[in-house]
Amino acid sequence: MDALPVQERTGLSYASTADGVMHACGHDLHTSMLVGAARLLAARRDQLAGDVVLMFQPGEEGFDGAGAMIREGVLEAAGPRVAAAYGMHVMSFLPDGGTFSSRPGNAMSASDGLVVTVHGSGGHGSAPFAAKDPVTTAAQMIVALQTMVTREFNVFDPVVISVGVLQAGSKRNIIPNTASFEATIRSFSEASRDRLMESIPRLLEAVAVGHGLSATIEYIEEYPLTVNDAAESAFAREAVEELFGPSRYQQLADPLTASEDFSRVLAEVPGAFLFLSAVPDGTDHTTAAYNHSPFAIFDDAVLPDGTALYARLALQRLASA
């Protein structure tokens, strides 16, 4: 389920044997925990006060699998619409392996994408005055985006713009016809997200025009904010503390800057999304590799507890309905 195009470099005995493909975000653990929960619940089906829908979701990494499943009726798979929904994600960097964490309200940022192509006129590197250089214009656009973040947005309602792709040219003495870059955009309120959709194209078009060039700008709406229902978040916390003790739950002070398409489910029904630290025992979480890193390690010792929590949430939530 959802391996990433990453060359694994953990050196583990069970490291990926597929070249350029790695389970760098833990989705294989998610699938395993839900299979385990299905087995636990099936063995206790006479204790269930209703139906449980198990959402084995593909395509979380940029393909909006949750959106596709919602459109195909996952929330009505048992007949009546589900009353509540819970999701979980393992993390390779959060403190204290085996600890669950979450927070009521906004738990994760919204995510959008940006793809920009600057159109110039190529020429010889020794005579930039005889060409229209898209490289320097693209560079100014990237710097301008970072300036915009600090000048147009409230520091207490932050946005994050990170350019992950920058491509131009084929040789150092050739000015290319085009330059392109791609960025990820994260925001923590609907107001900021709406403003970004308006401000970014305006700014980039102005930079291009200012240099006598043009640009193709594609702003891609991806995932909304992941917002936990306050009551369901408290219910999930209680389930963790009853199963494992209060020390096994930590409330997040701030939302995570990553994004999640389970947000689409939480926009439809009340629920909560939790994080499970899979940092190996004896590892310093402050230096542990982040999810998506080729060095990310997820301790599968957390599988039984994640499985038990999924089953407990279903049993107790149905009993309280």
Q: What is the pLDDT of residue 1?
A: 63
Which residues of the chain fall short of a pLDDT of 50? none
Give the pLDDT of residue 47.
87
Give residue 216's pLDDT: 98
- Domain with residue 186: its CATH number is 3.30.70.360
Q: Which residues in 34-67 are b (16+ Cβ under 10 Å) and which e?
A: bebbbebbeeeeeeeeeebeebebeebbeebbbb
Structural domain containing residue 125: 110-223
In a domain, 202, yes or no: yes
Count of domains in the chain?
2
Which pLDDT score is estimated for 290?
A: 82
Per-residue model confidence (pLDDT) at position 288:
85
Q: What CATH number is associated with residue 297?
A: 3.40.630.10
By three-state DSSP, how is residue 115 classified?
Answer: strand
Name which of 77, 144, 102 is nearest 239 in CA terms: 102
Q: What is the pTM of this model?
A: 0.85
Number of Cβ atoms within 10 Å of the Cβ of 96: 14
Report pLDDT for 64. 87
Q: Is residue 310 part of a domain?
A: yes
- The rounded percent of the chain whose pLDDT value lies above 90 is 77
Domain contains 122: yes
53 vs 60: CA distance, rounded Å:
18
